[in-house]
Amino acid sequence: MIPKALILDRDGTLIEHVPYLCDPAEMRLLPGVEEGLGLAVRSGAKLFLHTNQSGVGRGMFGMEEVELCNARLVEMLEHGFERICTAPEAPGAPSKYRKPSPEFAKEVMAEYGFSAEEICYVGDRGSDLGAAAAAETRGVGVATGLDDLQAELEAQGYGEQFPVFGDFLSAMKFLFPQT
Ligand SMILES: [Mg+2]
């Protein structure tokens, strides 16, 4: 089934992962992202952004900086997001949306009428695909972040559940093969 919605991670998936990024000047799109998002949009998929930003909860920067970076990302891309969800909490702090929470995906399903199988998470970390598992959506990994995604998935017991691609465009060609 062709996804009707992608829930995209930001750091390490759409842009180079700069740890605790808070300066829009440091943002660089990863190779193949614009072309890949073009495939998705031409196939009719809606785009959503879901980003964990624990730097806020750790007191390293504020939501204003996150919002500036998110706005810069929107400027850099040809296609916009239906909704952006930022989870600012540090790991372990109570949080509604921090991935692997399924709450954002559930809201997207409720608001737009998508079934779980019509949604696909795309991310570079086990927490992105953990959110997919928790919400019972599809998920694909991109090994373009700073961590060893395959090792993370195996540690979480998701080694076989989610395909992992070496770059964003390959993941989009897998999801949208007719385009
Ligand atoms: Mg990431």
Hey, where are the domains in the chain?
Answer: 1-87+135-179
Cα 2 to middle of ligand 1, angstroms: 23
Cα Rg for the chain, rounded, in angstroms?
A: 15
Q: What's domain 1-87+135-179's superfamily in CATH?
A: HAD superfamily/HAD-like (3.40.50.1000)
Query: In whole numbers, what is the pLDDT of the chain averaged over residues?
Result: 97
> What's the CA-to-centroid distance between 140 and ligand 1, angstroms?
13
Q: Region 160-178: what's the mean pLDDT? A: 96
> pLDDT above 70 covers what percent of the chain?
99
How far, in Å, from the CA of 124 to the mean position of ligand 1?
5
For 99, the token pair is 């991935």
> Are 158 and 121 spatial neighbours (Cβ–Cβ below 8 Å)?
no
Helix or strand holding residue 142 (H, E)? strand 138-142
Q: Which residues contact 120 (CB under 8 A, 6 or more apart)?
A: 3, 5, 6, 7, 132, 137, 138, 139, 140, 175
| Rounded distance from Cα 139 to ligand 1 centre (Å) | 14
What's at 176, amino acid-wise?
A: F
Going by pLDDT thresholds of 50, 70 and 90, the confidence category of residue 179 is: low
Cβ atoms of residues 31 and 167 within 8 Å: yes
**pLDDT tens-digit readout, 6-40:** 999 999 999 999 999 999 999 999 999 999 999 99
pLDDT digits (tens, 9 = 90+) for 74-103: 999 999 999 999 999 999 999 999 999 999
Å from CA of 158 to ligand 1 middle: 17
Cβ pair 162, 153 in contact under 8 A? yes
Amino acid present at 96:
K
Q: What pLDDT was estimated at residue 12? A: 98
Distance 115 CA to ligand 1 centre (A): 24
Distance, CA of 113 to CA of 42 (rounded, Å): 20
In this prediction, residue 101 carries a pLDDT of 98
Distance between Cα 177 and ligand 1 center (Å): 24
**What's residue 23's pLDDT?**
97
Residue % of the chain over a pLDDT of 90: 97
CA of 148 to the centre of ligand 1 (A): 12
Query: Which pLDDT belongs to residue 19?
Result: 95
Strands 5-8 and 138-142: unpaired
